[in-house]
Amino acid sequence: MLIDLTGRTAVVTGSTAGIGFAIARGLAGAGARVVVNGRSPETADAAARRIREEVPAASVLSVAADVTTEDGARRLVDEAGDVDVLVNNLGIFGATPALEIGDEEWRRYFDVNVLAAVRLIRLVLPGMMERGWGRVLNIASDSAVVIPAEMIHYGVSKTALLGVSRGFAKAAAGTGVTVNSVIAGPTHTGGVEDFVYELVDRDLPWDEAQREFMRIHRPQSLLQRLIEPEEIANMVVYLASPLASATTGGALRVDGGYVDSILP
């Protein structure tokens, strides 16, 4: 399949590292003009430079903006221009016993993992609908379907994101704009390495720690390893392309078979 996003502008939130960076690089490789986003100008600029080094002739703009605020979201969209592809990748996670999660922490997870995406969709969806083409992709998690006992606030926020995706897909019905979720499984990123070492012996070498984590905490994974960020990016690039024109309102799984269900 030939995926060509030449002439399209793609915004990826939380794209200075990990899954977000892999998605931004993948979209740039498909020819899109990519807007890299993070809160720090230094990290955003560094990510943009790295993409330019790894993808010859890539068109990359870095915008430092905190999209969990209205001002930050507006600044990102204003600097990006007409947005054809929006990837809401920004998210936070962490292990906390269920009965110790207070109201403030619940609100913080919903502000970052749900409302930031909603805010950006509201800003860009009308323009996409008017132009008759657009892609909105919300990066969810297997935790949206299999709520993890060690971080139910994270899981529930990602469940809400699935509903957000379906609802906005209905709002864009018949316009040529698609809205989907991508259910990412346990993925190998720097943040996940820290999380793994919160749950297993910190003295273990990484390969052993990863296997121990999957054995104890994610035993239902059919892949039996952590997913690499590029594997998530491959699905996102496809869904962002014209080839996925008949896929909308869905929750597409890149979970390594973690969710024990034919459908989410």
Q: Which residues are catalytic?
A: 154
**Contact assessment for residue 221 and residue 184, using Cβ atoms and an 8 Å cutoff:** no
DSSP assignments along the chain, one per residue: -----TT-EEEETT-SSHHHHHHHHHHHHTT-EEEEEES-HHHHHHHHHHHHHHSTT-EEEEEE--TTSHHHHHHHHHHH-S-SEEEE---------GGG--HHHHHHHHIIIIIHHHHHHHHHHHHHHHHT-EEEEEEEEGGGTS--TT-HHHHHHHHHHHHHHHHHHHHTTTTTEEEEEEEE-SB--HHHHHHHHHHS-TTS-HHHHHHHHHHHH-TT-SS-SPBPHHHHHHHHHHHTSGGGTT--S-EEEESTT-S-SS--
CA–CA separation, 48 and 33 (whole Å): 11
Token pair recorded at residue 42: 């230094």
Q: Which residues contact 10 (CB under 8 A, 6 or more apart)?
A: 24, 27, 32, 33, 34, 35, 83, 84, 85, 86, 87, 240
